[in-house]
Amino acid sequence: MLFNSIEFAVFLPVVFLLYWFVFNRNLRLQNLFVVVVSYVFYGWWDWRFLLLIAFTSLCSYVSGLLIAKFHANPRKAKSINVINIVLNLLILGVFKYYDFFATSFADLFLGGKTDGILLKVILPVGISFYTFQALSYSIDVYRGKMEPTQDIIQFFAYVSFFPQLVAGPIERATNLLPQFAKPRTFDYETGVDGLRQILWGLFKKMVVADSCAVFVDQVFSSHQTQSGSTLLLAAVFFAFQIYGDFSGYSDIAIGTAKLFGIKLMRNFNVPYFSRDIAEFWRRWHISLTTWFRDYVYIPMGGSRCSKAKIVRNTFTIFLLSGFWHGANWTFIAWGAYHAILFLPLILLGKNRKYRDTVAEGRLLPNLKEFGQMLLTFILVVIGWIIFRAESIGQAWEYFCGMWSWETLSACYKFFIQADIWKTSIAILAMLVIEWLSRQKIYAFSISSIPSPWIRTTIYYVLIFIILMNFGTQQTFIYFQF
Amino acid sequence: MRRFLIKTSLLLLPVLVFVVLCETGHRTADNDYKYKYRWLSEHASRVKILSLGSSHGYQGIEPDQFDDLTFNAAHVSQDLHYDEFIFNSFVDRMDSLKCLILPISYFSPWSRLEDGLEAWRVRRYHLYYHYPTSWFDPQYNLEIYSGLRPRTALREILGKSNNLYVTELGRGTRYNKENRSDNWKDTGILAAERHTRDNPDTNLYQANLLRVRRMIEKCREKHADVLLITMPAYITYRENLKEDQLSKAISFCLSLKEEYDNVYYLDMLADPRFTEDDFYDSDHLNEYGAAKLSYILNRAIKERQMD
């Protein structure tokens, strides 16, 4: 079920009312209800996916109990933890990466013939998200960061909680699981805030991202025949498409969770206002970045080791992060590209230089800050070309094609013909609003506007713009990951 | 909670009214599906020649050119499953039926409406032809699923707009010569590519063969003929077709012709009588081409009846 669908528009209020009015008297029953509706939400794509998520949840739940049971025997506890990790990664590997490895193997050794060696299984939606979420639990229990839960329903609710099930934020058991362990109460301000955040997420997804998608898809599918300026414009638009799409999803997820009295972690923090790549990675897909930091990077030694090991660790997490996104060399190249950009900063000890928000306390950035943001954005856009391309070859062709400037007029023509200007206004509006509220928890946090009439008018304007864009419903890019 | 529910309901009520008005507008207006269903419901018993098929038939068969009352019940991307559904919906009332024209295109034996970009049209069959699908799935039950389009909805409610693009007897009117783009010949490569199946589904082929067989047998019960036809196409389309798929599509028709005595087949794909002036694009006839083809078909039907 997509957040931007009529099905969800019906599903959400029904679930909300049942959750607060029917199942609120008994915590266990309320959690069971969360599990059931989350499975309905997920099974809407394909009921067979449910078997996988149930299996993954069960494995991590049992692992947690066994790790605690063998606490006195570290070797046994470690073995159980390792078995659970391997099992989960094996499932992920088979469903997500097997065909990729088989095809690569066939390209290298079988002359590209893949007959009979491909599984061709459907990739279950959001498998990477919930697998990582389930893994974080057993690892945290093993590390003694938390006690294992005895309540299987609570645990299943934690893994399958529908707002963040298919595209994050990838929650930590230490944050989310305790919230299912205590009774929730409805708070008016939090509820209103949740609705506002949903509205803002829908704007980013349906107005910005989906409008960009039309142009981007058209240009990327026929990049050989496009002018350099058109290719450049499409690359920039893709940067906003993926941001609107993914951060929009996160906003809807976080907003929806608020309606149910659950607080999810922040996943995006105005990443395109970053002054260097290190700051970008602190603001982009925060839940994944911190996951890799806590469960891969730091255990490997992090940045407190020799320079050679820092290089190894940095490349490892960026390559893993790229590979996490999908079974294609383009994602690995994208990860390597960011590792190369990140490495000088960490080696020079400048990766933590910008921990504050840009132009804090000022309306506009100074020239230096503006230049830094622009340069970072350009570097990120180049990365997105690799990310969006079907193959490394296509990415290279696309990149080379961008430098044929002889046909600037073609871009202008495209601008007029394809209603690109409307999309540009939407992007600009999003950037202005995000800039003005860059120090807030999310951009559309307008509770400080005193007049309810002005607030209501803003809501209606936003709803109207969203409704105008309804009908060209597109799936969320990150579902495939 | 009470305050939250009241305020949220009040905020969303106008939105809901707006959405309902848009849906009402789109449902109120006439469209090809609604019109054709209504026409067939009223006149099925008088129809002597019924034409089905996809956009090739929808644009290419001009009922006015036939001596007998002919109705074009084709729609864009209508596959053989929906052809059979429409045929079955009215066949019992078609007491005068003499001939069923069934265009079999290069892609027809392997086509499923639900698989393509035009899958949204399933909703039109559900809403206007009473095609059975899920009663609760909004994509099949709500016109707004393809967009609210409030300006259009308002015009539709006021009776100032409709979505009817067919002649009185059902031929599509949008693909006319004056609307033809300058690069219409270039559409051949893309159209052929779109219509070519890399891994043709043999099960679907067999299922479609069965569907056509069932229609033929029902026609035989009514002493009616079935005219299978491969529609004319421009050279830029033809030369990009995959030979293997094309020969299978033709043998689809030939096997039926061999099997049934009430079936005849016309392969007009490369008929030299159709020139540049007859096409809207590389694989669709325009109004002149449709008139020419229908004149030829009318003659063929007459000759067959005299035999």
Q: Which domains does chain B have, with CATH numbers?
A: 31-116+165-306 (3.40.50.1110)
Flag if B11 and A456 touch (Cβ within 8 Å): yes
Q: Which token pair is B187?
A: 């559409």
Confidence of residue A263 (pLDDT cuts 50, 70, 90): very high
Q: Which token pair is B289?
A: 């081409």
Distance CA A181, CA A162 (A): 17
Give domain status of residue A110, yes or no: yes
Whether A83 and A232 share a structural domain: no
Angstroms from A459 CA to nearest CA on chain B? 9
Cβ neighbours of A207 in B, within 8 Å: none
Confidence of residue B201 (pLDDT cuts 50, 70, 90): confident
Q: Stretch B119-142: mean pLDDT, rounded?
A: 89
Whether A180 and A206 share a structural domain: no
pLDDT at A481: 52
Option in A7, A459, A468 nearest B148 (CB): A468
pLDDT at B16: 92
Sign of CA pseudo-dihedral B93, B95, B96, B98: positive
Q: Report which listed range, A174-188, A353-367, B153-167, is most confident.
A: A174-188
| Residues A257/A249, Cβ–Cβ less than 8 Å | no
Give domain status of residue A309, yes or no: no
Domain stop point among A185, A219, A240: A185
- Under 8 Å CB pairs connecting chains A and B tally to 41
- When scoring A14, A186, A195 by the number of chain B Cβ atoms within 10 A, the one with the most, hence best to mutate, is A195
Whether A151 and A61 share a structural domain: yes
| Residues A271/A284, Cβ–Cβ less than 8 Å | yes
Pick the catalytic residue: A71, A223, A285, A325? A325
Whether A197 and A166 share a structural domain: no
Domain stop point among A185, A208, A227: A185
Which residues of A lie closer than 8 Å to B, measured between beta carbons?
A: 5-7, 10, 20, 186, 188, 191-192, 195, 456, 459-460, 463, 467-468, 470-473
More confident residue, A439 or A318: A318
Whether A146 and A263 share a structural domain: no
Confidence of residue A409 (pLDDT cuts 50, 70, 90): low
Whether A371 and A227 share a structural domain: yes
Give domain status of residue A348, yes or no: no
Distance CA B107, CA B190 (A): 14
pLDDT of residue B90 exceeding 70, the answer is yes
Distance CA B229, CA B60 (A): 11
pLDDT tens readout for residues B62-73: 999 999 999 999
Give domain status of residue A243, yes or no: yes
Whether A163 and A241 share a structural domain: no
pLDDT at A478: 57
pLDDT at A187: 94
Distance CA B93, CA B46 (A): 9
Cβ neighbours of B15 in A, within 8 Å: 463, 467
Distance CA A334, CA A323 (A): 9
Distances (CA, A) of A457 to A448, A449, A464: 15, 12, 10
Whether A173 and A39 share a structural domain: yes
Backbone φ and ψ of B81, nearest 5° = -65, -45
Confidence of residue B172 (pLDDT cuts 50, 70, 90): very high
| Residues A127/A140, Cβ–Cβ less than 8 Å | no
pLDDT tens readout for residues A10-20: 999 999 999 99
pLDDT at B159: 78
Give domain status of residue A174, yes or no: yes
pLDDT tens readout for residues A376-394: 999 999 999 999 998 999 9
pLDDT tens readout for residues B235-289: 999 999 999 999 999 999 999 999 999 999 999 999 999 999 999 999 999 999 9
Give domain status of residue A127, yes or no: yes
Residue of B nearest to A10 (CA): B138
Whether A153 and A209 share a structural domain: no
Q: If we measure between CA atoms, which residue out of A192, A201, A170 comes closest to residue A259?
A: A192
| Residues A182/A246, Cβ–Cβ less than 8 Å | no
Confidence of residue B25 (pLDDT cuts 50, 70, 90): confident
Give domain status of residue A283, yes or no: no
Whether A81 and A197 share a structural domain: no
A216-230, B34-48, B76-90, B118-132: the lowest-pLDDT one: A216-230
Whether A137 and A204 share a structural domain: no
pLDDT at A355: 85
Residue A285 annotated among the catalytic residues of the structure:
no
Option in A188, A460, A471 nearest B3 (CB): A188
Q: Which amino acid is at A225?
A: T
A144 backbone φψ class: left, alpha, beta (φ>0; ψ -120 to 50):
left
Report how many domains make up chain A.
2
Distance CA A43, CA B164 (A): 39
Cβ neighbours of A460 in B, within 8 Å: 14
Residue of A nearest to B139 (CA): A6
Sign of CA pseudo-dihedral A67, A69, A74, A75: negative
Percent of chain A at pLDDT above 90? 60
Domain stop point among A155, A185, A215: A185
Option in A191, A195, A467 nearest B148 (CB): A467
Confidence of residue A406 (pLDDT cuts 50, 70, 90): low
Query: DSSP secondary-structure letter at A266?
Result: P
Burial B197-214 (b: 16+ CB within 10 A, else e): beebeeebbeebbebbee
Burial class of residue A271, CB neighbours in 10 A (0-12, 13-18, 19+): buried
pLDDT at B182: 84
pLDDT at A167: 85
Distance CA B293, CA B299 (A): 10
pLDDT at A97: 82
pLDDT at A290: 94
Give domain status of residue A328, yes or no: no
SS (H, E, C) chain B: CHHHHHHHHHHHHHHHHHHHHHHHHHHHCCEHHHHHHHHHHHHHHHCCEEECCCHHHHHHCCHHHCCCCEEECCCCCCCHHHHHHHHHHHHHHCCCCCEEEEECCCCHHHCCHHHCHHHHHHHHHHHHHCCCCCCCCHHHHCHHHHCCCHHHHHHHHCCCCCECCECCCCCECCCCHHHCCCCHHHHHHHHHHHHCCCCCCHHHHHHHHHHHHHHHHHHHHCCCEEEEEECCCCHHHHCCCCHHHHHHHHHHHHHHHHHCCCEEEEECCCCCCCCHHHEEECCEECHHHHHHHHHHHHHHHHHHHHC
| Residues A331/A325, Cβ–Cβ less than 8 Å | yes
Option in A6, A186, A468 nearest B138 (CB): A6
Whether A431 and A371 share a structural domain: yes
Confidence of residue A405 (pLDDT cuts 50, 70, 90): low
Q: Stretch A331-345: mean pLDDT, rounded?
A: 94
Backbone φ and ψ of B253, nearest 5° = -75, -45
pLDDT of residue A117 exceeding 90, the answer is no
Distances (CA, A) of B29 to A95, A190, B153, B154, B169: 47, 43, 8, 10, 19
Segments forming the whole domain that contains residue A230: 189-275+354-480
pLDDT at A226: 80
Residue A73: how many CB atoms within 10 A of its CB? 11
Q: Stretch A87-108: mean pLDDT, rounded?
A: 84
More confident residue, B306 or A431: A431
Q: Stretch A263-286: mean pLDDT, rounded?
A: 95
Q: Report which listed range, A415-424, A436-445, B252-261, is most confident.
A: B252-261
Whether complex ipTM tops 0.90: no
Distance CA B42, CA B228 (A): 26
Q: Stretch A289-294: mean pLDDT, rounded?
A: 94
